A and B are shown apart, each in its own frame.
Chain A
């Protein structure tokens, strides 16, 4: 059974971050620096920003359902 979408999405992003950390252990040239700054950082930041917005929304939706069911 699927969990909350924000929790599942957080798990998926952590898998991606683990893959990136694994790459970083061995990748130390100028291409790596450029890739990190221009590709990885924007991807990670925008994804984290989205996940935070999704988490906040899910909290509000849960509260709404909880406080309006009698």
Chain B
């Protein structure tokens, strides 16, 4: 009979490490998906704040322009609405920036979820089969060791 070219304790250690990785991997995959949801919610909340700010900015700018028109009609001095216009412009810019990030996250998440789906299948299907195969190898080696023991 051939010598046993393996450290059975190390193989048991690998089997334990695989089982641990399978459980930890599920948790990591869940956290990755959770983080996508958290960031999407955070961006949507920020977008909502920007829309409110923009709405208020448009109202303030409209009121200012109204005052400016009335002032011009009555021959009073000019009314400066640049501050209100700047507030509107800033809110529009922020909202646009958020929309661009939302679009990018949708794209990145879609790409990632394909990879994550394959990794999930690896954890749920392939890795348990590998663990079973490794256990069968270990059992075979232990059986061979028992047979060798009396003669060695």
Contacts and interface: CB of A to CB of B under 8 A. Distances in A.
The SS class assigned to the B binding surface is: helix
B134 A54 contact: no
A60 B25 contact: no
Interface size bracket, A side? 35 or more
B129 to A, nearest CB: 8
Contact of B17 (A8, A15, A54): A15
B126 A42 contact: yes
Given A5-B31, A54-B32, A60-B104, A13 B21 contact: yes
- Dominant secondary structure of chain A at its interface with chain B: helix
Nearest 4 A/B pairs, CB to CB = A19-B17, A26-B7, A50-B119, A5-B31
21 contacts: A2-B31, A9-B25, A12-B21, A12-B24, A12-B28, A22-B7, A23-B14, A26-B5, A26-B10, A28-B5, A32-B6, A43-B126, A47-B122, A50-B118, A50-B119, A50-B122, A53-B116, A54-B32, A57-B32, A58-B32, A70-B94
Interface of A: 2, 5-6, 8-9, 12-13, 15-16, 18-20, 22-23, 25-29, 31-32, 35, 39, 42-43, 46-47, 49-50, 53-54, 56-58, 60-61, 64-65, 67-70
